[in-house]
Structure 1
Amino acid sequence: MKIASFNINGIKARLPRLLEWLEETRPDVACLQEIKTQDEGFPAEKFEEIGYGAIWHGQKSFNGVAILARDQVPEEIKRGLDGEPEDEHSRYLEANISSSKDGRKVRVSSIYLPNGNPHPGPKFDFKLRWMKRLRDRAAEIWAEEVPAVLAGDYNVIPRDNDVYSVKAMQDDALMQPESRQGYRRLLNDGWTDALGVTYPAGNIWTYWDYRSGGWQRDQGFRIDHLLLSPLAADALKSCGVDKEHRGREKASDHTPAWVDLSI
């Protein structure tokens, strides 16, 4: 089962690029972030035409997450995180996906963690609270002892070798010690950073800023992650980043990251 994460940065603006990527790479599951559309504006029929069922959790103009699955409609388990009833952001969606191999259920979450800038400030405080709420939900999933993948844009640069320039990003919320600590807590709880363990030397980016020629200069960083539960980590065959898709016309500023599991 190939599971991918893709911050599409506006599903209406990037729909041709998204459909192109799906047809060229054929992931079994695609977790999307920043769909930036209300629920009624989600183009589900376009995905059905190429063999994908979909669930989504939309929001007008910003945020929004979705999960696509090939030859099936994902079985929704949860939308949104507990712990802060006043939080109306559409940033979390969780589903079961049936394996075509043996029908086993695989738990998949699509995550769009708050950016947290400017730092310090209320947006950064919200980011840290959101990370704690995600950790609480991740612990519940982990306790179920199911193969699970927490996929998404975490807005955290975990290590110094996950960014083109530590100096350039040192004051950004993505690299603050508290952000990194929140991410490490997930790993310490037993989740495996698939790209992190596969590419320990780093220098593999998932995001390039539109400004200042970030793509042209290869000035990127890794903020899109796929965290694996123990059963999923045991099934890890390979993982990578579809870097070439970032260079296409009217592309998202992110590129897809994926894992291939023997499930």
Structure 2
Amino acid sequence: MKIATWNVNSLKVRLPHVLDWLAANKPDALCLQELKMEDKAFPVAELEAAGYRAAFIGQKTYNGVAILSPKPMDAVVRNIPGFDDEQKRIIAATIDGVRVICGYFPNGQAVGSDKFEYKLRWLSALTEWVEEEMRQYPKLVLTGDFNIAPEAADAHPDWKDEIHVSEPERAAFRALTALGLIDAFRLFEQPERSFSWWDYRMMAFRRNFGLRIDHILVSPALQADCSSCTVDKAPRKLERPSDHAPVVLELAG
């Protein structure tokens, strides 16, 4: 089973990239973030023509998440149950017995800001809900744009901004892994300075001045099935790319 996550930073702009990537990689689940479109604009027909059905939740201009799969999706949940939030950031579905949760985690803007406090509240609510989901679904994947670089190795050494690397954010990431979730990327030997996001400015991609903020966490029941987890930089090299690259998990069987 192949599961991938990709912040496309506008599905309208990046739809050709997504369709090409689906055709080349044939994932069983592709989790998208930052759709930046209302549900009525979602390209259902184009994706169905490519062989993919979709579960999605969006809003105008900001946020929005989707799961694409060629297979049936069951027990779809949109947004964190019990957490009052106008922002569309979570979608979950069960595919072939695996619970897939796709999230676009809040950016936080700046440490100490109102948006940062919202980020921490959101993360706390997510953690409580994921703990419940893990009790119901032993085989679970939590993936998406976390907007957190959990360790020093996940940020370029010259990264000076506190956001994405602050201790409260990293503590929230540790709270998720404390549920038993495992960072699939770190199950395998990886090149130094392996990142998934690079700013559009200052030739950041060319300089590899980036962060690893797009993650795939797996439950213990899936750990032994993990055969690889990689960052696919190829889409970041395209014309008018997203500032994120896909992260791809291969599960045996």
**Fold-level match, TM-score > 0.5?**
yes
Spell out the pairing of 1:1-263 with structure 2 (5 A cutoff).
1-70=1-70, 72-85=71-84, 87-98=85-96, 105-165=97-157, 167-169=158-160, 171-199=161-189, 202-263=192-253
Relative distance call for 1:133 and 1:199 in structure 2 (3 A) is farther
Secondary structure of the residue aligned to 1:114 is coil
Q: Alpha-carbon deviation of 1:83?
A: 4.0
Name structure 2 gaps, 5 residues minimum.
none
Secondary structure of the residue aligned to 2:144 is strand
Residues 194-224 of structure 1: per-residue CA shift (max 9 Å, x gap): 0123246752111111011111111111000
Q: Alpha-carbon deviation of 1:143?
A: 1.4
Contact 1:163 1:220 (C-alpha < 8 Å) held by counterparts:
yes
Contact 2:232 2:247 (C-alpha < 8 Å) held by counterparts:
yes
Separation in 2 of the partners of 1:260 and 1:182? 26
Residues 36-78 of structure 1: per-residue CA shift (max 9 Å, x gap): 00000000111111111111001110100000002x3422431
Contact 1:111 1:153 (C-alpha < 8 Å) held by counterparts:
yes
Q: Alpha-carbon deviation of 1:157?
A: 0.5
User: Quick one: which amino acid aligns to residue 79 of structure 2?
Assistant: G
Separation in 2 of the partners of 1:110 and 1:262? 21
TM-score for the superposition, normalised by structure 2: 0.96
Contact 2:98 2:137 (C-alpha < 8 Å) held by counterparts:
no
Contact 1:117 1:172 (C-alpha < 8 Å) held by counterparts:
no
Aligned residue pairs: how many? 253
Contact 1:162 1:202 (C-alpha < 8 Å) held by counterparts:
no
User: Quick one: which amino acid aligns to residue 87 of structure 2?
Assistant: H
Relative distance call for 1:248 and 1:13 in structure 2 (3 A) is same
Separation in 1 of the partners of 2:219 and 2:61? 33
Provide the alpha-carbon RMSD of the alignment. 1.4
Name structure 1 gaps, 5 residues minimum.
99-104
Separation in 2 of the partners of 1:244 and 1:236? 22
Contact 1:145 1:231 (C-alpha < 8 Å) held by counterparts:
no
User: Quick one: which amino acid aligns to residue 84 of structure 1?
Assistant: F
Q: Alpha-carbon deviation of 1:145?
A: 4.6
TM-score for the superposition, normalised by structure 1: 0.92
Residues 126-173 of structure 1: per-residue CA shift (max 9 Å, x gap): 0001111111111012212521111100000001111112x423x332
In structure 2, the partner of 1:101 is none
User: Quick one: which amino acid aligns to residue 53 of structure 1?
Assistant: R
Percent identical residues: 38
